[in-house]
């Protein structure tokens, strides 16, 4: 998938910062985060353009993933995103 103009901008910023900054530099870390967020947004737009419309429940479930941020899998049970069945071994639905 080709990069959007915004993602390309973030990638160029990373390249420029990488020449003079260490890997733990806050501005470089932020630039990496911004590129990841833009690539995720680009991917979501592409998937939504190719998919049938989502139901309200599906949109809410996906939005919940973005609102909570990274959490251990076990903590997702309150969102209905983890398999809580006692007879099943496994992870997220």
Quote the pLDDT of residue 25: 96
3-class SS letters over 22-85: CCCCHHHHHHHHHHHHHHHHHHHHHHHHHCCCCCHHHHHHHHHHHHHCCCCHHHHHHHCCECCC
- pLDDT classification of 60: cutoffs 50, 70, 90: very high
Quote the pLDDT of residue 40: 92
- pLDDT classification of 72: cutoffs 50, 70, 90: low
Quote the pLDDT of residue 56: 96
Is the confidence at residue 93, as pLDDT, over 60?
Answer: no
Q: Measured in Å, how far apart are the chain's first and last C-alpha atoms?
A: 27
Asked if 64 and 92 touch (Cβ cutoff 8 Å), the reply is no
- Tokens 């870390």 correspond to 29
Rounded to an integer, what distance in angstroms lies between the CA atom of residue 34 and that of residue 52? Answer: 28
What are the residue boundaries of the structural domains of the chain, listed by start? 1-51, 53-82
The pLDDT tens digits of the residues spanning 13-56 come to: 999 999 999 999 999 999 999 999 999 999 999 999 999 999 99
């Amino acid at each position: 998938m080709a990069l959007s103009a915004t993602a390309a901008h973030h990638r160029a910023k990373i390249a420029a910062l990488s020449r003079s900054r260490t890997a733990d530099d806050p501005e470089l870390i932020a630039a990496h985060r911004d590129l990841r967020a833009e690539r995720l947004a680009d991917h979501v737009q592409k998937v939504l353009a190719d998919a049938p419309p989502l139901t309200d429940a599906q949109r809410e479930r996906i939005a919940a993933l973005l609102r909570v941020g990274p959490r251990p899998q076990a903590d997702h049970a309150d969102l209905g995103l983890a398999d809580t069945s006692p007879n099943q071994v496994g992870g997220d639905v």
